[in-house]
A and B are shown apart, each in its own frame.
Chain A
Amino acid sequence: MRRCTSQTKKRIFLIIGFVLLGFVLFSIVPAFAQDMTDAEYRPFPMIGSRNAAWIAAQLHLLFGSFILGVPMFAVIIEFIGWKTKEERYDRMAQEFIKLCMGAFSTTALLGGVLVFILVWCYPKVLSKLSGIFGPTMIFYVVLFFGETFTLYLYSYGWDKMQGRHKGWHLFLGVLLNIWGTAIMFVSNTWLTYQTSPATQYGKLSDQAKEGWLEHTLSQNPELTRAEVLKEVTDTTVINLHNETTGEFLGTVMDAVNNFTWMPVNIHRLIGNIAFGGSIVAAYAAFRFLVAKTKEEKAHYDWMGYNGNFIALCGLIPLPFAGYWLGREIYMFNNTMGVNMMGALFSWLFIIQAVMIGILFIGANYYLWSGMGRIEGAEKYARYRPIMIAIIVICVGIWMTPRTLSSISSASEQTAMGGSNHPHLGLFGLMTAKNTVVNIVILTTFLSFLFYRRSGKKPTANWKKLGNIIISSVFFLGVVVIVVIGIVGFAVESDVRVNVLTPWQVLVALAVMVVVTIIDIFMYRKATTSGTIKWGEMTERSQYVLILLAITFTSLMGLMGYARSGLREGWHIFGVMKDTSADAFTPSLSSAVNMVSIIMVIFFALVGFIFWLGLWGERKKQKAVPTMESEAIAEGND
Chain B
Amino acid sequence: MKKPSLFTICFAIFIVCWVFLRFFVGGVISKPIPNSVIAMYMALVFIAILVHISVEDTRFREFLRPIHETLVDENRQTRRLVFAVLIPLLMLGFTYTNIAKKANPPGDPRTVHPTPPDNLTYKDIVLGTMDEAENPHRHLEKDDPEAYKSHVENGRTVYYQNCFYCHGDHLDGKGHFADALNPLPANFQDPGVLPNFSESFFFWRISKGGPGMPAAGTPWNSAMPIWENYLTQDEIWDVILFLSDYTGYKPRTFGEGH
* Chain B interface residue number, banded: 35 or more
Interface pair B258/A331, CB less than 8 Å apart: yes
Interface pair B30/A422, CB less than 8 Å apart: yes
Please tell me if A601 contacts chain B, counting CB pairs below 8 Å. Answer: no
CA distance A385 to B52 in the complex (A): 7
CA distance A497 to B257 in the complex (A): 12
Interface pair A490/B191, CB less than 8 Å apart: yes
Please tell me if B44 contacts chain A, counting CB pairs below 8 Å. Answer: yes
Residue of B nearest to A263 (CB): B258
Interface pair A335/B191, CB less than 8 Å apart: no
Interface pair A339/B115, CB less than 8 Å apart: yes
Which of A235, A406, A418 has most chain B Cβ within 10 Å? A418
CA distance A181 to B54 in the complex (A): 40
Q: With contacts defined as CB atoms under 8 Å apart, how many contacts are there between chain A and chain B in the complex?
A: 207
Say whether, besides A330-B254, A372-B56, A385-B52, A361 and B47 are in contact (CB < 8 Å): yes
Interface pair A405/B37, CB less than 8 Å apart: no
Tell me which residues across on chain A come within 8 A of B131, comparing CB atoms.
237, 333-335
Interface pair B254/A342, CB less than 8 Å apart: no
10 residue pairs of the A-B complex, CB under 8 angstroms, read A335-B118, A403-B113, A406-B110, A407-B34, A407-B107, A409-B104, A416-B33, A416-B34, A492-B250, A540-B54
Say whether, besides A343-B111, A372-B55, A429-B192, A334 and B36 are in contact (CB < 8 Å): no
How near does chain A come to B129, taking the closest CB pair, in angstroms? 8
CA distance A493 to B195 in the complex (A): 5
CA distance A442 to B25 in the complex (A): 27
How near does chain A come to B178, taking the closest CB pair, in angstroms? 9
Interface pair A492/B195, CB less than 8 Å apart: yes
Which of A200, A365, A385, A496 has most chain B Cβ within 10 Å? A365
Q: Which of A332, A344, A416, A492 contacts B253 (CB 8 A)?
A: A492
Interface residues of A in 87-140 (CB under 8 A from B): none
Interface pair B195/A404, CB less than 8 Å apart: no
Please tell me if B173 contacts chain A, counting CB pairs below 8 Å. Answer: yes
**Binary interface encoding of chain A residues 428-458 relative to chain B, with 1 for a CB under 8 A from any of its CBs, else 0:** 1100000000000000000000000000000
**Binary interface encoding of chain A residues 313-354 relative to chain B, with 1 for a CB under 8 A from any of its CBs, else 0:** 000000000001000101111110011001110110000000
Residue of B nearest to A333 (CB): B131
Tell me which residues across on chain A come within 8 A of B34, comparing CB atoms.
404, 407-409, 412-413, 416, 421
Which of B184, B192, B200, B253 has most chain A Cβ within 10 Å? B192
Tell me which residues across on chain B come within 8 A of A424, comparing CB atoms.
30, 33, 37
How near does chain A come to B187, taking the closest CB pair, in angstroms? 7
CA distance A489 to B249 in the complex (A): 9
Tell me which residues across on chain B come within 8 A of A413, comparing CB atoms.
34, 107-108, 182
How near does chain A come to B14, taking the closest CB pair, in angstroms? 13
**Binary interface encoding of chain B residues 241-255 relative to chain A, with 1 for a CB under 8 A from any of its CBs, else 0:** 000000011111111
Say whether, besides A335-B118, A405-B183, A384 and B52 are in contact (CB < 8 Å): yes
Q: Can you list the 9 inter-chain pairs with the closest CB atoms, starting with the nearest? A: A408-B34, A492-B250, A342-B113, A407-B36, A493-B252, A331-B257, A418-B184, A392-B48, A412-B34
Tell me which residues across on chain A come within 8 A of B51, comparing CB atoms.
361, 364-365, 368, 388
* Chain A interface residue number, banded: 35 or more
Please tell me if B31 contacts chain A, counting CB pairs below 8 Å. Answer: yes
Tell me which residues across on chain A come within 8 A of B175, comparing CB atoms.
none
Interface pair B107/A406, CB less than 8 Å apart: yes
Please tell me if B154 contacts chain A, counting CB pairs below 8 Å. Answer: no
Tell me which residues across on chain B come within 8 A of A333, comparing CB atoms.
131
Say whether, besides A429-B192, A538-B57, A338 and B108 are in contact (CB < 8 Å): no
Q: Which of B33, B36, B48, B183 contacts A389 (CB 8 A)?
A: B48
CA distance A388 to B13 in the complex (A): 14
Interface residues of A in 351-410 (CB under 8 A from B): 357, 361, 364-365, 368-369, 372, 381, 384-385, 388-389, 392, 395-396, 399-410
**Binary interface encoding of chain B residues 34-69 relative to chain A, with 1 for a CB under 8 A from any of its CBs, else 0:** 111100110011011001101111000000000000
Tell me which residues across on chain A come within 8 A of B11, comparing CB atoms.
none
Tell me which residues across on chain A come within 8 A of B45, comparing CB atoms.
392
Please tell me if A65 contacts chain B, counting CB pairs below 8 Å. Answer: no
Interface pair B105/A409, CB less than 8 Å apart: yes
CA distance A620 to B105 in the complex (A): 67
Say whether, besides A384-B52, A416-B31, A497 and B255 are in contact (CB < 8 Å): yes
CA distance A263 to B192 in the complex (A): 26
Say whether, besides A372-B55, A415-B31, A492-B195, A334 and B37 are in contact (CB < 8 Å): no
CA distance A144 to B70 in the complex (A): 63
CA distance A409 to B108 in the complex (A): 8
Please tell me if B145 contacts chain A, counting CB pairs below 8 Å. Answer: no
Interface pair B195/A496, CB less than 8 Å apart: yes
How near does chain B come to A430, taking the closest CB pair, in angstroms? 8
Q: Which of B112, B200, B250, B255 contacts A403 (CB 8 A)?
A: B112
Interface pair A494/B183, CB less than 8 Å apart: no
Interface pair B116/A335, CB less than 8 Å apart: yes
Please tell me if A148 contacts chain B, counting CB pairs below 8 Å. Answer: no
Which of B111, B249, B253 has most chain A Cβ within 10 Å? B111
Tell me which residues across on chain A come within 8 A of B32, comparing CB atoms.
412, 415-416
Please tell me if A420 contacts chain B, counting CB pairs below 8 Å. Answer: yes
Please tell me if A146 contacts chain B, counting CB pairs below 8 Å. Answer: no
Please tell me if B212 contacts chain A, counting CB pairs below 8 Å. Answer: no
Tell me which residues across on chain B come within 8 A of A331, comparing CB atoms.
254, 256-258
Tell me which residues across on chain B come within 8 A of A361, comparing CB atoms.
47, 51
CA distance A41 to B86 in the complex (A): 61
Please tell me if A552 contacts chain B, counting CB pairs below 8 Å. Answer: no
Q: Which of B25, B108, B192, B252 contacts A406 (CB 8 A)?
A: B108
Interface pair A343/B115, CB less than 8 Å apart: yes
Please tell me if B227 contacts chain A, counting CB pairs below 8 Å. Answer: no
